[in-house]
Structure 1
Amino acid sequence: MALEFRSLQYRVGDRPLFDELELRLPVGESVAVMGPSGSGKSTLISCALGLVKPQGAVQVAGVDITSMRRKDLARHRGAHTGVVFQFGELLPELTPVENVALAGLLAGASRRDAYVDAETLLAELGVPAADRATGTLSGGERQRTAVARALINKPALLLADEPTGALDDVNRNSVADLLFQVPGRWDCGLLVVTHDEQVANRADRVLHLAEGRLRTRSGA
């Protein structure tokens, strides 16, 4: 199982954000979560990253991360979780290869392996080979680079927080098509939170966050 939330409870001030929330995300499957602003979609991502400590269980790659010490959590996250943010969060002065390889180096890979794997991933994801700063790439190319960076350590879980929100229609569709191919091609689970129904509809399952719980379209 890539990700499992069990009986998640979390409050923001006096407001309950999650109320016995449940989710099971197997390896090889994609889930899109929709909901209005303030419903807690990004907080779900934070829970899966261990940045927020809810009540209940958060299992990533079969391990409950809620009681981990900070160092152990960082090590586990680096080994098993990749994340793509709305604006990529890349270092604009580095080349795409350098951005992707850096994630491998930080996880303990050798310099040679990190750079070879980065070049391979970028080629597979359609990022043109270029020795130029990432900041000069198109929005779509930057997000593809961000996906490569998230995949370089072969995570069991890929998280994406509004990954197409800053893109035009052409790049949005291109990046969304790529993202939802990832679980089958790289053997991981994919959790995407998005406002965009056209993006969400590419997922194996679409869930709506309402009243603190994840529900199917029918409200079941």
Structure 2
Amino acid sequence: MGGESVVLAAAGVGYDVAGRTLLDGLDLTVRQGESVAVSGPSGSGKSTLLTCLLGLIKPQRGSIQVAGVELTELRERALARHRRTHLGVVFQFGELLPELTPLENTAIAALLGGVRQRDAYAQAEELLTELKVPFGKTPTAQLSGGERQRTAVARALINKPALVLADEPTGALDETTRDEVAALLFSVPQRWKCGLVVVTHDATVAARADRHLALAGGELIEARGAGVRS
């Protein structure tokens, strides 16, 4: 991974809430083409970490750079623009608009990023085709769980982000669909030349990552039994 550019550099990140330290001098570097899984018990700070990496909350200490830009120094409008351009997110339940088609759900992310309507829909159709998602007139609410998550991955990728963050992306899926979505998700860094951070409780999913880290005591450490996958 030495030759690939750094897409995420978090250093000394600290965050306290209600007298409790959730993140304590946390460091995390992710390179283009690399996947990292983060696990840990409920309440360990995983959601707080993701929220900091997205720039939705500002850590009280430390530095977070995404695509070479320091998030903690950006004003709200510039931060939102940087987020749209350089970050993609996949949530546990997709967070898609159920009444829209997969094509519309995917294209809307490009439209919000300033892409012309014709181009946004063309890019969305191409991406959904590659990810094997039906994009006819069927509302997203009527798709299977796996199809909805594939749509969520397409939406996360359409603006060609430097970094994709996924929060329990397979947590609501059955075992077979989980494996299919996980295989797709962990193919993303190499296929789309980005970095990937996946928060998951599922050891089977985490094992697919290039690195599996555990959040403990506010810091990231190598998960027991984890190593670089072959």
Q: TM-score range by the shorter chain?
A: over 0.9
- Secondary structure in 1 aligned to 2:82? helix
Corresponding residue for residue 113 of structure 2: 107
How far is 1:209 from its partner? 0.3
Corresponding residue for residue 8 of structure 2: 3
Instruction: Indicate yes or no: 2:51 matched with 1:46.
Output: yes
- Per-residue CA deviation, residues 22-51 of structure 1 (Å, 9 max, x unaligned), is 000001100000000000111111011101
Instruction: Indicate yes or no: 2:157 matched with 1:170.
Output: no
| Alignment partners' CA distance in 1, 2:71 and 2:124 | 28
Report the count of equivalent residues: 219
Out of 18, 21, 24, which is 2:26 matched to?
21
- Per-residue CA deviation, residues 42-92 of structure 1 (Å, 9 max, x unaligned), is 111101110111111010001100121100000000000000000000000
Matching residue's letter, 1:178: L
Instruction: Indicate yes or no: 2:165 matched with 1:123.
Output: no
Instruction: Indicate yes or no: 2:207 matched with 1:201.
Output: yes
- Per-residue CA deviation, residues 77-122 of structure 1 (Å, 9 max, x unaligned), is 0000000000000000000000000000010001111001000100
| Alignment partners' CA distance in 2, 1:217 and 1:207 | 5
Corresponding residue for residue 39 of structure 2: 34
Superposed CA RMSD? 1.0
Corresponding residue for residue 145 of structure 2: 139
How far is 1:170 from its partner? 1.1
Structure 1: gaps (5+ residues): none
- How many percent of aligned residue pairs carry the same amino acid? 64
How far is 1:129 from its partner? 3.5
1:26-105 to structure 2, matched below 5 A, reads 26-54=31-59, 55-105=61-111
How far is 1:218 from its partner? 4.7
Structure 2: gaps (5+ residues): 1-5, 226-230
How far is 1:173 from its partner? 0.6
Matching residue's letter, 1:26: R
User: Contact 2:38/2:197 (CA < 8 Å) preserved in 1?
Assistant: yes
1:183-202 to structure 2, matched below 5 A, reads 183-202=189-208
User: Contact 2:23/2:49 (CA < 8 Å) preserved in 1?
Assistant: no
| Alignment partners' CA distance in 2, 1:209 and 1:167 | 24
| Alignment partners' CA distance in 1, 2:47 and 2:216 | 14
Could you tell me the TM-score, scaled by structure 1's length? 0.98
- Secondary structure in 1 aligned to 2:72? coil
Matching residue's letter, 1:29: E
Instruction: Indicate yes or no: 2:164 matched with 1:158.
Output: yes
Instruction: Indicate yes or no: 2:213 matched with 1:216.
Output: no
- Secondary structure in 2 aligned to 1:181? helix
| Alignment partners' CA distance in 2, 1:37 and 1:147 | 24
| Alignment partners' CA distance in 1, 2:146 and 2:76 | 34
Matching residue's letter, 1:65: L
| Alignment partners' CA distance in 2, 1:195 and 1:52 | 23
Matching residue's letter, 1:74: A
